[in-house]
């Protein structure tokens, strides 16, 4: 009987350790995904004409002002 209780206690301890390990791994992966998402994100700028926010790579700049593609001066 004592051996059975000891075995169950060891099994429970193993399960708790595995659960903690999985949670730590998930947190590490989530942190990596957040880091990758932050690297992929792009700064948004407001159009000087209409105020619409567009990604900085899509905006054109003239005379120190940024414009959306629709209002880009030619």
Query: Whole-model pTM?
Result: 0.50
Provide CATH code, domain 43-74: 3.30.60
Torsional sign, CA 62, 67, 70, 71 = negative
* pLDDT tens per residue across span 7-50: 999 999 999 999 999 999 999 999 999 888 877 788 899 999 99
Q: What is the pLDDT of residue 40?
A: 78
Q: What is the pLDDT of residue 16?
A: 98
**In the chain, domain spans:** 1-41, 43-74
Residue 4 has pLDDT above 90, yes or no: yes
* pLDDT tens per residue across span 45-70: 999 999 999 999 899 999 899 999 99
The token pair at 62 is: 């003239």
The token pair at 56 is: 């900085």
Strand 60-62 to strand 53-55: parallel, antiparallel, or no bridges (unpaired)? unpaired
């Amino acid at each position: 009987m004592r051996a059975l209780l000891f075995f169950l206690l060891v099994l429970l301890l193993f399960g708790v350790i595995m659960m903690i390990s999985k949670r730590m791994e998930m947190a590490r992966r989530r942190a990596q995904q957040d880091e990758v998402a932050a690297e992929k994100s792009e700064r948004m700028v407001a159009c000087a004409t209409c105020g619409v926010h567009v990604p900085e790579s899509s905006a054109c700049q003239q005379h120190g002002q940024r414009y959306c593609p629709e209002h880009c001066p030619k």
